Amino acid sequence: MIHLLNETQQPVEVQETAFSIDVLGRYICNTWDEAINNGGRPFDAVVIGAGMFGAYCAEKIYRISNSKVLVLDAGAFLVSEHVQNLARIGLNTASAITVPNNDKDPGTRERVWGNPWRSNVGFPGLAYCLGGRSLYWGGWSPQLTGADLKNWPDEIEDYLKDSAYRIVKKEIGTSETTDYISGALFKALKKKFKKIVDDGIATVDEIEDAPLAVQGEAPASGLFSFDKYSSAPILIDAIREDSGRPDSERRLFYVPRTHVVKLHHANGKVTMIEARVNGQPRFYNVPSNCSVVISTGTIESTRLAMESFPTPMMGKNLMGHLRSNLTVKIKRDVISPTLPKQLEAAALFVRGSTPNARYHIQVTASAIAGTNPEASMFRMIPDIELLEKHLASQSQEEIIITLRGIGEMIGDKNSSVNNSQTSWMNLSPYEKDQFGFARAWVNMVKTSSDDQLWTTMDEACIRIAQKLSDDDPNNIRYLYDTDGTGAKWQDQPPADLSKIRDGLGTTHHEAGTLWMGADVTSSVTDLNGRFHHMKNCYAVGPAVFPAIGSANPSLTALALARKTASAVAKELKPIVEADFMPLLDENLNGWQMVGTGTFKKVQHIIESAGGPGLLLYKKEAFKNFILKADWRVTDVNDNSGIYVRLPDIENGSGNWLLEANKGWEVQIDERGFDSRNNTEGNSLKRTGAIYDLTPAKVEDASRPICEWNTFEIQVINQAVKVVLNGVLVSELENDPTRPVEGFIGLQNHHPGSRVQFGNIRIKKLT
């Protein structure tokens, strides 16, 4: 571990202030030098942004593969989970503000909230910290409907509906919708809503349980519930799991206060990351096999892409959500005459549509006095005296209900950027950030179609509220501002619907500016979120949405982040051609070690550790065959080999190495090191050679360090042919000294050598 320095430049393990001991920061975060100069193999993936989707994607890449991941984030560590799972420590979401130029920028608000872009409407901005806005989000996580997904590529629709939604819903706590929301108020309200929907309201389609990302009950006996979801804990847990290894062997590093300002590229690949770390310039040369994932929020991800490798389509198709909040209070007995007079909160979800667009209504209700039914819904109350005081404040007469309407905006993929009548973003020609790079300018406007949907949605909310009150004006009152002096309870619904509407940019739901598609001529990214014109760079988050629908984007964006993580991950899944038999599985069935060392298993990949030794496939001896195997080295000094036609070697019996030399070894050694002469470049000992028998006659057939290679080894009678990455590199026409049949073996050459193998399969020949 590299220790930080205090004011006297003395190394300290954990920093201390006058108020705190920064164990969390030190045990979770890394310095730039600590991560970049860790002494291990190069990174397989760099994730830029540790917010909701970046943290999630980084953790998935780490978990599902043997990849080495670097996470760079402009913010710092703040807290380890959703703020509503913690005691009330004073962390709040920033309000929306309009920042048209640098002079109007108020700077950091609520400790971590900043407004990096400039715009014509108000935005809350971004939370610059690990977990980002996922530390504060409301938790509503509906999935897109079939009608929504008709505006998406068919493959993505199938992926989401077949498995991804199911997996992510279970992960974030929305699979079980009533383990958190239940009780008499919920049951009565649901019954009332069901009758309203069944009786029919124009444009209202159906009612569902509230898809809240809160897990109230344990998923299994002996496990705690997960509380309100944030992506921060899963990344932190992965970091701490990985931190038990020496830095040179770690696979996950998180570097805060690192503002990536530009991605340099050549020949369609990102080659260098330019950043400012605590304000100081830093550069990271991206390895040739490394993937870069941008996940800094829709606007900032697009800004970085436009700054680095712009295309004419970037920045179009900007979408958000139309949002309204109708709060009413309805007499308790009208909801149900048998409701108990006790504290309860409830939530429901209503879907609606017009022929051209969709909306939904998030319904929250509470049996307490006040104007905000969500005030107690996500609040931790650990103190019994505080709980009793809270219970005593409940209303005896009325239920407070908020109907929050969320309507989709339709993006424009064709209109030119800078058209004042559509929504888009671009690089500002006037405003620079603190590092001298162009800020984003965001233009968000509602079209006439948007306004029509907004009106339809608001009218549906009012009509539902009226039906909840049994259409009796004496049973309901409405909360809104009539004269600019603040919201007050009114006898009539608002005639001016703007009184219950929020600004266009207030929902945190910006989307669409890097939309995905199969056609390179009509989309910015492919179906995995990779930029069409960049071979190793991806975008994660709602920026890749082709259409937004009415659903809050988090569930869908998390599901797509899983897809991107799978595409980025260097896991080798078994690919078995016709007539080939796989030899390698996760449990190493049929394999046995002789000598020292071992092979570490990560799903379908194994990696040599220790040595010298051999891992033999003892389940079957082979005579004539074609053997295919994928492999990679992580350092130029790594050494291994694939043995064929080995005799039956038992561990601990005699000289196993002497027995191994009775077979053929196809060498893996990028240096061609000759230990007898302490020299390099010996073609008889270089990758692809049949060790000490016939040289590797092609020097550059293997790919760069850390990239995967494929051997195809053909053994017929006493002849051996070796093809490396499609190139014939060595051939032994006749060697009668070897057995006519034998076993397959993988070598772990020496301690410190880490060679990975995967996708080993064989085709038996006659």
Position 25 pLDDT exceeds 80: yes
pLDDT at 681: 86
pLDDT grade, residue 1 (50/70/90)? very low
Query: What would the pLDDT profile of 132-184 be if each residue is shown by its tens digit?
Result: 999 999 999 999 999 999 999 999 999 999 889 999 998 998 887 766 677 88
User: What is the pLDDT, as a whole number, of residue 659?
Assistant: 85
pLDDT band at 223 (very low <50, low <70, confident <90, very high): low
Mean pLDDT of 622-649: 93
Residue with tokens 């899963």: 234
**Torsion over CA: 676, 682, 688, 694 (sign):** negative
Alpha-carbon gap, residue 164 to 324, rounded angstroms: 30
Distance of CA 743 to the CA centre of its chain: 42
Residue 652's pLDDT band, with cuts at 50, 70 and 90, is low
- Span 492-541, pLDDT tens digits: 999 999 999 999 999 999 999 999 999 999 999 999 999 999 999 999 99
> What is residue 725's predicted lDDT score, i.e. its pLDDT?
93
pLDDT of residue 391: 59
Q: How many other C-beta atoms are found inside a 10 Å radius of the C-beta of residue 535?
A: 14
pLDDT at residue 344, as a whole number:
72
Tens digit of pLDDT for each residue in 208-220?
A: 999 988 876 666 6
Q: How far apart are CA 672 and CA 679, in angstroms?
A: 8
pLDDT band at 376 (very low <50, low <70, confident <90, very high): low
C-alpha closest to that of 52 among 179, 115, 139: 139
Among the residue ranges 113-117, 395-399, 747-751, the one predicted with the least confidence is 395-399
**CATH homologous superfamily of 581-765:** Exo-inulinase; domain 1 (2.60.120.560)
**pLDDT tops 90 at residue 635:** no
* pLDDT for the residue numbered 6: 46
Instruction: Assess whether pLDDT exceeds 60 at residue 365.
Output: yes
* pLDDT-derived band at 303, boundaries 50, 70, 90: very high
- CA gap 705, 670 in Å, rounded: 9
pLDDT of residue 664: 95
Please give the backbone phi and psi of residue 204, each rounded to the nearest 5 degrees, phi first.
-85, 125
Comparison of pLDDT for 752 and 389, the residue scoring more: 752
Q: Right CATH number for 16-89+126-155+224-318+508-568 from 3.30.930.10, 3.40.718.10, 2.30.30.230, 3.50.50.60?
A: 3.50.50.60
pLDDT tens track for 702-740:
988 878 899 999 999 999 999 999 999 999 999 999 999
Report how far residue 211's alpha carbon sits from residue 141's, in angstroms, rounded to the nearest whole number: 5
pLDDT per residue over 469-482, tens digit each?
999 999 999 999 99
The count of other CB atoms within 10 Å of the CB of residue 155 is 12
More confident position, 117 or 68: 117
Q: What letters, b where the CB count within 10 A reaches 16 and e where it falls short, cover 22-46? A: bebbbebbbbbebbbebebbbbbbb
Whether residue 196 is predicted with pLDDT greater than 60 in this model: the reply is: yes
Q: How many CB atoms lie within 10 A of CB 52?
A: 31
What is the chain's mean pLDDT, rounded?
90
Rounded mean pLDDT, 287-304: 95
Residue of higher predicted confidence among 64 and 513: 513
Matching residue, tokens 């620079």 = 432
Residue 5 confidence (pLDDT): 47
% of the chain surpassing 90 pLDDT: 72
Sorted by where each begins, the domain ranges of the chain are 16-89+126-155+224-318+508-568, 179-210+321-408+447-500, 581-765
Rounded mean pLDDT of 657-677?
89
Kindly report, residue by residue over 256-280, the tens digit of the pLDDT: 999 999 999 999 999 999 999 999 9
Confidence of residue 3 (pLDDT cuts 50, 70, 90): very low
18 exposure class (CB count in 10 Å sphere: 0-12, 13-18, 19+): exposed
Residue 31 half-sphere exposure toward CB, CA atoms < 13 A: 10
Query: What pLDDT score was predicted for residue 380?
Result: 53
pLDDT the model gives residue 225: 60
